[in-house]
Each structure stands twice: as structure tokens, then as C-alpha cells.
Structure 1
Amino acid sequence: MRNKLTTPPILAIILIVFLTFLVSGCITNGSTDDQVKTITVTDMEGRSVTLKYPVERFVLMDSTCTAEFSSVYGEGFDSKIVGWDNYLRENSGDMYEKYVEKFPTMAEIPDVGSLDDNTFNAEKVIALNPDVVIMPNWEFMWNGEATKEALARMDQAGIPVVFLDFYMEPLENSTKSIQLLGKITGKEQRAQDIVDYYEEKVNSVYSRLEKIQGKKPTVYVECAYNGPDTYGISYGDVAWGDIVKKAGGDNIAEPVLLNKSKALSAEYLVNQSPDIIILTGRNWSTPGSLKMGYTFTSNVTKSTMTPFVNRPGWDTINAVENRKVYGIYHGYCSDVFNFVALETFAKWFYPEEFKDVDPVDTLKEYHRKFMPIDYSGTLVYRYY
């Protein structure tokens, strides 16, 4: 007589094994800790960092990195930033205004303080429970001890920190930093699209420069933050100085500053009499600073640049005599837009060879392709 249990013995065994695994937790759903994935990356300080993959909760300790983060992440980026410093709001208020206008909830992102002014609040960061804290590696140059202390606090709390670099070696490390963002967010194809666009523009500049012979123009770059009465920092072989060199210019600050950033004296500048002067502007609150950005017209930029051009002794400088004084948005030395700075500098240095190049068109195209906010305002400017 056949047993009333008609399930074949082998199927019964499989069923028992399956139920055993289910009860023991070997088969899980997406909400269990057992299925949390991790990824190990090398950041732009050469540190090996293991973190959750893909990262969902970010603290940006250089909130101007919002431009890169939003470009890479795409739709929904604003909900992933759970905390940031005050740098975007305080120093790039024009860009902050554009983002908040389109994404109002960004105005509610908690401010965790800044390493620059010793207001960084480690406890607040920890309470936000981020998956990662993003830091720029230029913090080690400007705020070394505070950065080391913050890093130690995050390590102690088990919060990974990833360093990016769009400043120290901008034209070498920007694409690597974009790809790193793509890797940890799971947006690698989007990041690669940005890198491909970036490299196409950069390589086009380099290929033209290779064909140019003769003496390089001498160049002076100044951060016009302080107003005309006090000379702002210039740049050795770093940030703007690196871009000047890559664009085929001879940076007058490099022999003095090497790889540092520091103000040059008025006497040195006048004696050097550079062929080209570039002043960098932003939405700074300091009186007399050069105003440039998403919310400024060219008339405002010109009116705030004039007092710089009228400084004592500047009328004897070659750049002023030959009407080669320019302005550029300061953020472009520390973000992905440095490729536009390269293109712009090359055009200013060698106008005939780059006469068909329009950096403003490049900016507009990049915004259309990758940015969640529209291009507007004055980001590149010729004074004369």
C-alpha cells in the first residue's frame, strides 16, 4: 500500500533543507544586515577606505562639491546630502541660491560647521549617521591640525572619510575624483560620461598648445577677495598656478611661492610687469571684492574690477597697457569646471590659435548635459 505522503523523498529533503536555511537566516531579504554590501576604494590622499555600497547618506565638508556631487548622482541627489559645511552658502551664495531655488529642501540641510573657522561639530556629524564624510584634500594645506583631529574623530566613530582633489593637482585629479564619486554612489556610467566630456575638452586644448612655438606670456593670478587695498593670495604650482602652466602660460608667482599660495607684494608685481592679469571673483561679502557668479551681471563685475585695475603702479604693467586684464569665477580652481578655466586661459594667452573657442558656450553645454541648475550670470569676463 502506498504511503499517503505522495511527495517524492528527494523533494522532501530539499524542502527540509530550504526551511532550515530560512529559519537560520541564511536566506535574507534586502532589509537585513547580512546583505549590506561594502566597497573598498583608494581616495585622493592614497587612503584605503571601506564603506557601505552604494552610499546613501553624505556629509559634504566642502559644500561647493555640490556641483560635482549633483552632476554625478543626478536625480535625487538633494535627498542624499544629510549635512554639509557653510562654505557654499558663505562663499558661493550665488550658486547656493540657484540650488535652493530649484531644490527648496536643500535650505534645510544641517550645517555641521567648518574646519576653516574651527566651528566643525563632530558630534553633530556623528548624530546625522552618515555613510561617508567627503572632504577636500586641500584642507591639509590650509587647516592641517583641524583636519587631522576631525579625521581622528570620524575614525573613532566608525564613519568613513573620503578625500577628493579638485585643487592641489586639478587637471590630474579632477577626473579621478569624479570617478571615485561615481564608484561609491553606484553611478559609474554617469561619472564616466562626465570624464569623457572633460577629457575631450582638455585634450583639444593640449593638442593645440603642442603646435604653438615661441615665448610664453607671463601671467599673474590674484584672488580678489580682500578688495583692491590689500593684495590677495596668488598661486605657485598649485590650483590656479597649475592651470596657468597647463594652459601655456608662465606664472610669475611660481619661482617665489613654489607649491604654496600666498600674496605677492605690489613691488614684485609691478617689477615683473606680467603680460596678462587674471583676477578671480565670487559672491564674497568682503567690501570691495570682485563680484562674479551666477547672479551677477557683467556691469557689476566690471564696476568691482575697476578699483583693482586702478591700483597704484598698475598703469605701467604690460597687461594693463595692452588691455589684457580678465576675471574668472574663483570656484573654478577647486571644482570640475577647471577644464573650462584651462580652455579660457588658453584663449586669453593665445587668442589667435583659439579664436574659434568660446568658453561660455562650453559652460552652457556642460550645464545642459550634467548640471541640475541652469547657466546664468558672469563666470568668465574680459575687462577691456
Structure 2
Amino acid sequence: MARTARRTALLAGLLLSALGTLAPVTAGAAPTTLKDVAGREVTLELPAKRVMLGFYVEDWFAIAGDKGYDRLVGMSKGWFVKSRPVVWEQYAAARPTLRDVTDVGNVQDQTFSVEKVLATRPDVVILADWQFKALASEVPRLEAAGIPVVVVDYNAQTLDRHLASTRVLGQISGETARAERIADDYRKTVDGLRQRIAQARLPRPRVYIELGDKGPAEHSYTYGRNMWGAMAELVSGDNVAAPFVKDWGTINPEQLLASRPQVVLMAGYESVSRPDAMQMGFGIGQAEARRRLQGYTQRHGWSALPAVQDGRVHGVYHGATRSVLDAALLQYLAKALYPTLFADLDPDATYRDFYRRYLPIQPQGTFMLSLR
């Protein structure tokens, strides 16, 4: 009898051990098919545990939440670290595991390495739409290796793509409720701005927006149908560059003068190298930002522009574009175009509140500024 009892106990132990071994398999997520913003159906296990991120760093951080930092195994660090070094250091201090994430290179300077991506053994590669297009000949190598590639797109600056990108990142990270909350807040912001403008039926103000990275002596990029151009369209601004610039590029200075913009926005980063270039962002004081902004009003012929004569010249943070964080910049742009209509808005508070709610750092600096 004792021998039978021991044998029964042994068999029970073996069975429990076997079940324990099988448990992770049976508990694993079944592959899910999602549709990315390019309309592609991609099948992968969700949430992804090992993520390679090509762009939209802060969007991933905000949507994926606390677990999202540790799930990053590869990134295209170069653009973010180079253009926003102060911001990167704050994130790395708050989440030290970010320093160990493999840098796979950048599409912009043709240092992106598929070999480095493969070495990180990602469950998924997330690319911006423009990266996906630029890497058209390389993407099949990733897919042949069994690595799903998902496309998102905040660069288009359209409401539909912003919402779709946010929800896709929510699916990949397993934070669908969080993503839906962020998407819904963004939609409400855009809809609220557009509804108020439509009801007011005011003339569309002429607006010019430039990346001020080269200083007043040289005209830099302005925008046609995407980025700042698309943002101007969302809030019913008459973008004077749209007839002359398709996506982004320079406008003839004489053509700009002839267009007589009523509102001018100069966009800037923290990392500009020229002492008179537009500088905005983390750690930048208002006095320094205003000094640099004032310099652009001294350009040849600009004293005759309605925007300069009326003091409707603004500095804005370029680092907050191409992102779900740009809801605050849309508010600021709407207020710059229609100051009376949006006198009640506080876009700077909107920007800071997003960080308070969704990110581990808090922005200190100058992100929106008016000469008036």
C-alpha cells in the first residue's frame, strides 16, 4: 500500500511538472493580425516583447507606458539624440535601460543597418512611413527573416493618420486603452478647434512657417502639404508657401514678400549651432528665444509685412511636431491665427499637462512665444 501511495505521488509530481513546463506555451498570445497606417495587414504576437523603433520616440514612450522602455531592443537614435540631446538625457536619466538600447543607424544619413536590426532579434520593427518607403529594398530582408514590419505616420499631420498611428502603437504595446484615451483627447482637440473656426466664419489669415535653423541671413525650409503646412490647413490658415512648395523646401524671398503673410511662425530646436538661429525647447529661456526671434524681423523687406507690423511673429518648438504631442501646437497655431476666437486657450499648459499625464520627464523651457 505504501509503495502504491509513493508511486501515485511520483506520478502526480511528474504530471504537475509537465503541466508547469507547458504553461508558458499555452499562456502565450496567439498571433494577431493588425492593419498599419499603410493599409498593410501584419501578423505578430501581441504585445510585442522586443521592439525595434525607427522614429516617433516620444509617442512610443507615451503610449507604451512604463513597460515600453524596457521592451525597446533597438532604435534609430541618431536623429533624436542629435536634434534633442537635452531631452534624450532626461529620458535616459529617468529610464536608464534606454542607454543600453542598440542604435541601428539612421535612414536620413544612410547609416541604417539591417544587420544591426537582425542582431537585436526584434519581435517587430516599427517604421515611419517615410522610412518604410526609403527602405523599400531592405524591408523584404527583414520579412524573410520572420520579422514583422509595421508602418506608422505622424509626419503627414492628418487627423486620421495621427489617430491610426496611436492605436497601432497601442496594439503593439498592449496598451490599447491608454492609446485610445490619447487618441480620443487628440481628436477632441482637433475637432474643437475646427468646429469653433467653422462657426466663426472668419477670413483665413495668411500664414508663413519656417524652420529657423539657418538664421535670418538665409531662408530655410518652409512647408507645403505636410508637417507645418498640414497643421496650418487643419486650423484653416492660408499657407502662403502651399502654391510654391510641395512638401518642404525653400521659398523665393521675393515671393514671400509678395505673399504678405499676416502671421509668421519660426520653428526651432535646442540644438541649433548658429548663434542667431531660432532656438526653442528644453532649457531655453524666453529672453534668448525672443532675442533670436526678433532677429528674423530684420530680414530685408520684412518690416513691410503685415505680420511684422502687427507684431504677429511667433516662435514654436519644432521638436513637438510629427507627434501626438502636437495637439498643443495646433492650439497655439489656431490662437496665433485667430487670437480673439481662442483667447481662452492655454496651449503651453496643454503641452506640459501631456508630459505630466503620460511621460516620466517634465518640460522646462520655452515652447511657444509671441513677440507681441
Could you tell me the TM-score, scaled by structure 2's length?
A: 0.90
Q: Which residue among 59, 65, 72 is the counterpart of 2:63?
A: 72
Distance 1:34 1:262 in 2: 52
Equivalent residue runs for 1:341-356 within 5 Å: 341-356=329-344
SS in 2 for 1:254: coil
Superposition deviation, residue 351 in structure 1: 0.8
Q: Deviations over 1:69-94 (max 9, x none)?
A: 11112123221111111111011223
Gapped regions of structure 2 (runs ≥ 5): 5-10
Report the CA distance between 1:58 and its aligned residue. Answer: 1.2
Tell me if structure 2 keeps the 8 A contact 1:179–1:192: yes
Deviations 1:291-319 (A, max 9, x none): 11122111221222233222111111111
Task: State which of 221, 242, 245 in structure 2 corresponds to 1:233.
Answer: 221
Aligned to 1:29: 23
Contact preservation (8 Å) 2:159, 2:187: no
**C-alpha distance in 2 between matches for 1:111 and 1:232:** 29
Query: Contact 2:48–2:172 (CA<8 Å) still a contact in 1?
Result: yes
Counterpart of 1:273 in structure 2 is 260
Q: Work out whether residues 95 and 293 of structure 1, in 8 Å CA contact, stay in contact via their aligned partners in 2.
A: no
Q: Decide whether the 8 Å contact of 1:170 with 1:338 is kept in 2.
A: no
Letter in 1 for 2:50: R
2:178 alignment counterpart = 190
Say if 1:276 and 1:324, in contact at 8 Å, map to a contact too.
Answer: yes
Q: Aligned to 2:144, which of 153, 156, 162?
A: 156
Matched residue of 1:296: which SS?
coil
What does residue 208 of structure 1 align with?
196
Is structure 2 residue 218 aligned with structure 1 residue 218? no
Read off the aligned partner of 1:203 and give its amino acid letter. D
Moved more, 40-49 or 205-214: 205-214
- State the alpha-carbon separation in 2 of the partners of residues 110 and 373 from structure 1: 22
User: Which of 105, 110, 113 lines up with 2:102 in the alignment?
Assistant: 110
Match of 1:87 among 76, 79, 86: 79
1:379 corresponding residue in structure 2: 367
CA distance in 2, matches of 1:166, 1:269: 28
Higher alpha-carbon deviation: 237-246 or 283-292 = 283-292
Q: 1:350-373 CA distances to partner (integer Å, 9 max, x unpaired)?
A: 111111111011112222222221
CA separation in 1, counterparts of 2:149 and 2:367?
A: 31
User: TM-score, normalising length from structure 1?
Assistant: 0.87
Larger Rg: 1
The question of 1:38 aligning with 2:31 is answered yes
Which of 51, 55, 69 is residue 44 of structure 2 equivalent to? 51
Percent of residue pairs bearing the same amino acid type: 29
Map 1:222-261 → 2, pairs under 5 A: 222-258=210-246, 260-261=247-248
- CA shift, 1:325, in A, is 0.6
Tell me if 1:119 matches 2:107. Answer: no
> Which consecutive unaligned segments of at least 5 residues does structure 1 have?
6-14
The letter for the 2-side match of 1:304 is R
CA distance in 2, matches of 1:82, 1:360: 33
Residues 281 and 115 of structure 1: CA distance in aligned 2, closer, same or farther (over 3 Å): same
Q: Quick one: distance in 1 between partners of 2:101 and 2:32?
A: 26
Which amino acid is 1:137 matched to? D
Alpha-carbon distance, 1:286 to partner: 3.4
The Cα of 1:107 is off from its aligned counterpart by 2.4
Count of residues in Structure 1 that have an aligned counterpart in Structure 2: 363
Whole-angstrom distance in 2 between the partners of 1:100 and 1:124: 21
Deviation per CA, 1:253-294, whole angstroms, max 9, x where unpaired?
112224x21111111111111001111111234324311112
- Asked whether 1:307 is paired with 2:299, we answer no
Alignment partner of 1:298 is 2:286:
yes
Q: CA deviation at 1:202?
A: 2.0
The verdict on how the C-alpha distance between 1:53 and 1:151 changes in structure 2, with shifts beyond 3 A counting, is same
Summarize the Cα distance change of 1:155–1:237 in structure 2 as closer, same or farther, 3 Å threshold: same
Equivalent residues of 1:68, 1:336 under 8 A apart: yes
SS at match of 2:324: coil
Offset, 1:382: 1.0
Is the 2:265–2:316 contact (alpha carbons within 8 Å) kept by the matching residues of 1?
yes
1:38-96, CA deviations, whole angstroms, 9 ceiling, x for partnerless residues? 2111111111111121101111111xx22111111212322111111111101122321
The residue type paired with residue 369 of structure 1 is R
